Structures are given as C-alpha cells and as structure tokens.
Amino acid sequence: MEVQLAKYEQIVKWIKDQIVSGDLTDGSKIKSENELVSMFHVSRQTVRHAISVLEQEGIVDRRRGSGTYIRIPIKIEKERTMRIALITTYVDEYIFPPIIEEVEKGLSRKGYTLQISFTNNAIEKERQILKNLLENDVVDGIIAEATKSGLPNPNLSLYRKIMQKGIPIIFINSYYRELKAPHVSLNDKKAGKMVTQYLLECGHRKIAGIFKADDGQGHLRYAGYVDALMDADIKVRGERIVWIDTEELRCMKEDAGRILKRLQGCTACVCYNDEVANKLAGICLEQGIAIPDELSIIGIDNSELAKLCEVPLTSAENQVRDLGGIAAREIMELIDEKEVYEDFELDTRIIVRKSVKMIHSL
C-alpha cells in the first residue's frame, strides 16, 4: 500500500524534485507562499512548515522582504543504472575507434555498459542527445567530446542541468572552458608548437598553417604554432594561415585554389590534424606539387591516415588509447564521488615518416 505524504512533505518533495531536474538551481528564488498555497491547496502554515524543513536541511535560505532562495544544489541518491553515455563527434572513423575501444574495455571491467551517441560535430544533434539524457535519466555518468568547442555553444545550460542532477561529466579531446568539468586530451598547444619546431629544425622558415576555426583544438594548435615561430624570431604572417571549419574540411578539394594561394612561397605547412594533412597531400599531388621536395607537410594525431597516405605523413602522436583508458577510470571515480583534482593533457612526440624534407638543421 502506497504511503500518502503529508501536505508539507508533498511541498518539500516537489521543491527537491525541481532541484534535481535543474529547474531550480543554486540561488534560484522559489515560488511565494501565496503561490504554493494556491498550488497545493493548503494553509499558509503548512507552506511555512515545509519551508522550515527545507531550511533546516540547508536547502533554502529565507531573506526578509525578498523571498526564499535555493542555497545549495542537492543530490538525491538514486539507484545506479550501470550505464555510461559516450558522446563523440564521430564514431567509426579517424581516431575514434581506439578511443571507444579503450573506454568500453575500462568500463566493462567494472560492470558498466556503454551507450554511444555521435553528434557529427553539429550543435543541433548534440542538443537532441543531451535533452534525451535529461528526460530519460538512464545513465550514471557521461564521457563527452565537445561539439564545435571553438564557438559559443547554446547547449551549455543542458550540460549544467545534467551536472545539477548529480550526473558527472568528463570531456575528451575538446572541452568547454565555461563548464567546471575535468577533461582528458592531447596537450594541443604543445603539439602545435612541437610540429612547428620540428619543421624549423629541418631548416624551414616559410611555414604555413591550416587550422580548424570551430574547434578549440584548432585555436590551441595555432597558439603553439605561433609560439614556435616567435621563439625562432620569425614573423607570424596572417596570409600564410588557412582557417577552415567542419563543413569546409569535408570539401577541401573544392577549395584548393584558396588554400594553395595561401601556401604559395612556403616550403612547409603545419596541418591541424592528419585528416587535413591527408587532404592537402591529395590536393598537392593532383596539382603536381611534389611532397616533400616542393612542400613539406606535417600532421597531428599519428592516425592510420598518416600511415596510409600516398606519401606517409610525419605526425605528432596522440595517445588515444591512454586517453580512452584515463577517461573510463576518471568517470568511475567521479561516480564514486572521489575527487578528480586536475585535467589530463597528454604529452606527444614526433613520428617521422616521408612528408618532411630536411633542408638543413639548426
């Protein structure tokens, strides 16, 4: 037989439910006494008793002449689902299969299953996935790759609502600086600097760059590129930089004229990642530009694309298997309410192949 809650308990439960759902957050003002009286068809004394209970529990703060406010977000314990959501931009291509494999391996050892979704790096798809997770409440934690992290994102409020429900989130590859959530990624700025330094060590001075504009990694890798040139007292020339977004990456071949115009006169090019480097290599080969004799190309990630490119690509390694394993371990520690003290940004090294010409060493 279901136990009927007392009237004041119904009000207490309703307010707690509003906090769990994210409709009430820390600092939110709750409905007035008159509104609660009308909603629950109770006396003013019953409402005051409910507010007093919440106040004793440290959940609300009454301010004379102003109203009653949520003081701290609370976490309502719920039965574990033993399921983790993994949200990535893509699933079955580039560096993602080994990341997913390592995440699944790490979670399965602890009895967790993986619920995989992908956004295609589209904020609309990301929003749909997050709303579904909020409405269904079927996971204990989320491992997510930020979508177009180099741009303002309208979905941050959904991430905050999820965290307010007590569901921990850890980001991989890219992340949102506005959210207080740990991340595991390549040290992107260091990678950008290292590949540029390698070209400098090979004697190149006129070094172009192609970077992603709509992903945070692109901004960080560009920052590393700039640091390396400035350390070598080489002027950073804006006309040698090509900025592309997700859609332009997919059709780089159609944009060959603009890209090659920017690279004109350069002996080498730093590419945002191996996918960009592979596409640039294809453009050059079609245009009769010899790699590396006429243009040296270097990528980042050391993916299968680097190995299989017609001219195998020199690339900075991205330890994606370590990344996936760390993310799995950290999300479980967050679920168990163990503190994650810092972000993890993995070091890199240069994997030398055949796409960079040695002009002379420094």
Give all strands (DSSP E) within 34-152, no chain letters.
Answer: 60-63, 67-70, 83-88, 113-118, 141-144
Q: What is the pLDDT of residue 150?
A: 94
* Residue finishing a domain among 298, 318, 338: 318
Q: Report in angstroms the alpha-carbon separations of 63 from 14, 55, 223.
A: 21, 11, 48
Q: What is the pLDDT of residue 61?
A: 85
* Residue finishing a domain among 45, 70, 95: 70
Q: How many domains does the chain have?
A: 3
Q: What is the pLDDT of residue 1?
A: 39
* Within-domain flag for 305: yes
* Within-domain flag for 359: no
* Within-domain flag for 289: yes
Six-digit token pair at 303?
Answer: 């993916």
Count of residues in the chain: 362
- pTM above 0.85? no
- One domain for residues 27 and 173: no
- One domain for residues 180 and 324: yes
- One domain for residues 195 and 135: no
Nearest to 270 by CA among 227, 215, 214: 227
- One domain for residues 252 and 216: yes
* Within-domain flag for 133: yes
Cα gap 272→282, rounded to integer Å: 16
* Within-domain flag for 76: no
- One domain for residues 180 and 246: no
- One domain for residues 181 and 225: no
- One domain for residues 269 and 243: yes
Q: Which domain holds residue 31?
A: 7-70
What kind and span of H or E run contains 223? helix 216-231
Q: For the chain, list residues with pLDDT below 50.
A: 1-2, 74
- One domain for residues 154 and 197: no
- One domain for residues 198 and 227: yes
- One domain for residues 314 and 212: yes
- One domain for residues 331 and 314: no
Residue 210 belongs to a domain with what CATH number? 3.40.50.2300
Tell me which amino acid residue 95 is.
Answer: I
Q: What is the pLDDT of residue 2?
A: 46
Q: What is the pLDDT of residue 65?
A: 77
